[in-house]
Amino acid sequence: MIQGLGIDVVSVERMRSWLNDEALLARYFHPNERKAVAGRGSSAVPALAARFAAKEAFGKALGTGLQGLSLRDIEVRNDELGKPELVAHARAALALRERSIEKVWVSLTHERESAIAVVVLEGAS
């Protein structure tokens, strides 16, 4: 059963301005995300923007926003076919356990100017 739904849009240009700010990237992105997008050439910036949107969408799906959560604990990774999956760590994982969420669904898209993410939280009841 669906327990939560969130959507967010992020400006790709805004994300470009973060690229040379190591502290900002370390604050908002999981080390695995930074490693994964580093090898993506020109699609690195839209990929980061979409991942940032996923973090905000996750907060909306929880219904609390990102209050009390660290954005870097909300990781988006891709499977071998490129499908994104959202992996929650630390307090983000706790927030899911508290709500008995068993599955997180995420979908990303990016164009030249904007990146968008949708997150669905699914639980047994």
8 touches 49 (CB < 8 A): no
Which one from 30, 35, 55, 60 is the annotated catalytic residue? 60
Sole window of 33-41, 42-50, 56-64, 109-117 interacting with ligand COA (rule: CB under 6 A)? 56-64
Closer to ligand COA by Cβ: residue 47 or 57: 57
The rounded distance, in Å, linking the Cα atoms of 65 and 118 is 14
Sites for ligand COA among residues 75-104 (CB under 6 A): none
Q: How far is the CB of 36 from ligand COA (least distance, A)?
A: 20
Give the residues across from 78 on adjacent strands: 84
Does residue number 56 form part of the binding site for ligand COA (CB under 6 A)?
yes
Which structure tokens are listed for 95?
């927030």
In contact, 62 and 107? CB cutoff 8 Å: no
- 43 vs 64, beta carbon nearer ligand COA: 64
Minimum CB–partner distance for residue 80 and ligand COA (Å): 30
If one asks whether residue 30 binds ligand COA (CB under 6 A), the answer comes out as no
Mapping DSSP to helix (H, G, I), strand (E, B) and coil, where does residue 22 land? helix
Q: Is 63 in the site for ligand COA (CB under 6 A)?
A: yes
- Beta-carbon count within 10 A of 76 CB: 27
DSSP-assigned beta bridge partners for residue 88: 74
CA angle, 100 as apex, 98 and 52 as ends, to 5°? 75
Residue numbers annotated as active site: 60, 110
Judged by the rule CB under 6 A, the positions of this chain that interact with ligand COA are 8, 56, 59-60, 63-67
